């Protein structure tokens, strides 16, 4: 995005140029103030930390030539987030960011029902500094994984790095690849699923595919290995919506194995032979989550411009699940 036409007298004060066209205040500031995300600027505006000609206003305010905009960024406020000595597998770390290999079962940040014991609690224990862009209870959290999805996450140690990484995710320039074991054999074996995704009004814990509203989501998949009842897929995300992979695959009739929210557990046993029912039921008894793993993460380092690429091996539980399927003697490549 081009920087708006303006005169910046200091990092906090902007005088709008006489040839500046009409533009929302939050969008104007997102281009004018470096190292701050648009969502953070919206929060500052709402809190009254942004004024136009000395007056509080709204994010939707259309800036006018000659206006003086003052941006006050208060220092991060202490929170009640308690540092916890939770072990972390750190694949990469420098002064600005870190890449974490999150285990299944670890919630990313405190939420209803999970006030502590989260990745956020671990981050404030392990790292001296974390970004505050996403708020005090989401220190350093640039993007997230569901509790029972394992794999790679990048976290930011300062607000400038956070803003730059968030911009890469928004531009879809990051590389994110997942491994997923699903029910059935998707046809075609490789395809793209595109739709709007919105929260269900009947069950607020679930997301659903919508024809007209919600957030646009794009998921690419290809078959890696097939079994009698399941398929191992390689998933590439173009967008990162809540539950996106799980929702899209379930919508196609191929829910992720073990997914309790989107029909990936024992409801799929109906109609199977006695032998298959017994075999798969035993697998489900030993595999208590969705078989989804964020295995590849790539992005450009905001400070060094180095292209970083990370890969995570399948965790032991998913590897054991696949070995059990292979030992049954019915795996093979897609035909």
**Rounded to whole angstroms, how far apart are CA atoms 237 and 190?**
14
Closest alpha carbon to 156 in 36, 259, 51: 36
CATH class of the domain whose range is 175-327? alpha beta
In the predicted structure, residue 38 carries a pLDDT above the cut 50: yes
Do 121 and 163 form a contact (C-beta atoms < 8 A)? no
Do 70 and 50 form a contact (C-beta atoms < 8 A)? yes
pLDDT tens figures, 63-99: 999 999 999 877 655 556 899 999 999 999 999 999 9
In the predicted structure, residue 8 carries a pLDDT above the cut 50: no
Assessment of whether the complete model's pTM goes beyond 0.85 = no
Alpha helices in 172-287 (DSSP H): 244-251, 274-286
pLDDT-wise least confident of 13-22, 72-81, 200-209: 72-81
* CATH code assigned to 6-71: 3.10.290.10
Looking at domain 90-171, which CATH architecture does it have?
Answer: 2-Layer Sandwich (3.30)
* Spans of all domains in the chain: 6-71, 90-171, 175-327
pLDDT of res. 12: 73
Burial (CB count within 10 angstroms: exposed 0-12, middle 13-18, buried 19+), residue 9: exposed
Task: From the candidates 26, 101, 146, 158, give the one annotated as an active-site residue.
Answer: 146
Burial (CB count within 10 angstroms: exposed 0-12, middle 13-18, buried 19+), residue 27: middle
- Average pLDDT along the chain: 90
Query: 170: Cβ–Cβ under 8 A, 6 or more apart, which residues?
Result: none
Q: Roughly how many angstroms between the first and final C-alpha of the chain, as a whole number? A: 46
Catalytic status, residue 95: no
Do 60 and 52 form a contact (C-beta atoms < 8 A)? no
Query: 186: Cβ–Cβ under 8 A, 6 or more apart, which residues?
Result: 221, 223, 231, 233, 249, 252, 254
In the predicted structure, residue 173 carries a pLDDT above the cut 50: yes
pLDDT of res. 7: 46
Topology agreement, domain 90-171 and domain 175-327: yes
pLDDT of res. 293: 98
Calculate mean pLDDT across residues 187-216.
93
């Amino acid at each position: 995005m081009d920087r708006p036409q303006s005169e910046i007298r200091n990092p906090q004060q902007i005088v709008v140029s006489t040839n500046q066209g009409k533009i929302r205040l939050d969008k104007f500031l997102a281009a004018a103030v470096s190292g701050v995300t648009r969502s953070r600027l919206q929060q500052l505006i709402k809190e009254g930390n942004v004024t136009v000609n000395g007056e509080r206003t709204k994010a939707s305010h259309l800036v006018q030539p000659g206006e003086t905009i003052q941006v006050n960024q208060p220092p991060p406020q202490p929170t009640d987030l308690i540092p916890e000595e939770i072990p972390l597998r750190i694949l990469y770390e420098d002064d600005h960011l870190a890449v974490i290999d999150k285990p299944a079962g670890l919630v990313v940040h405190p939420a209803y029902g999970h006030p502590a014991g989260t990745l956020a609690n671990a981050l404030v224990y392990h790292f001296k500094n974390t970004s505050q862009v996403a708020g005090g209870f989401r220190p350093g959290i640039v993007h997230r994984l569901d509790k029972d999805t394992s794999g790679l996450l990048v976290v930011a140690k300062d607000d400038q790095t956070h803003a730059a990484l968030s911009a890469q995710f928004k531009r879809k320039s990051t590389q994110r690849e997942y491994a997923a074991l699903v029910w059935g054999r998707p046809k075609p074996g490789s395809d793209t699923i595109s739709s709007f995704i919105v929260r269900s009004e009947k069950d607020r814990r679930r997301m659903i595919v919508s024809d007209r509203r919600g957030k646009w989501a794009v998921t690419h998949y290809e078959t890696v290995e097939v079994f009698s009842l399941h398929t191992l897929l390689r998933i590439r995300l173009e967008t990162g919506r809540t539950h996106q992979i799980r929702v899209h695959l379930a919508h196609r009739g191929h829910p992720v194995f073990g997914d309790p929210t989107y029909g990936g557990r024992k409801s799929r046993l109906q109609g199977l032979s006695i032998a298959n029912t017994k075999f798969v039921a035993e697998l489900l008894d030993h595999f208590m989550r969705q078989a989804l793993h964020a295995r590849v993460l790539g992005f450009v380092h905001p400070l060094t411009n180095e292209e970083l690429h990370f890969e995570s091996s399948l965790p032991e539980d998913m590897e054991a699940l696949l070995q059990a399927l292979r030992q049954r003697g019915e795996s093979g490549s897609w035909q």
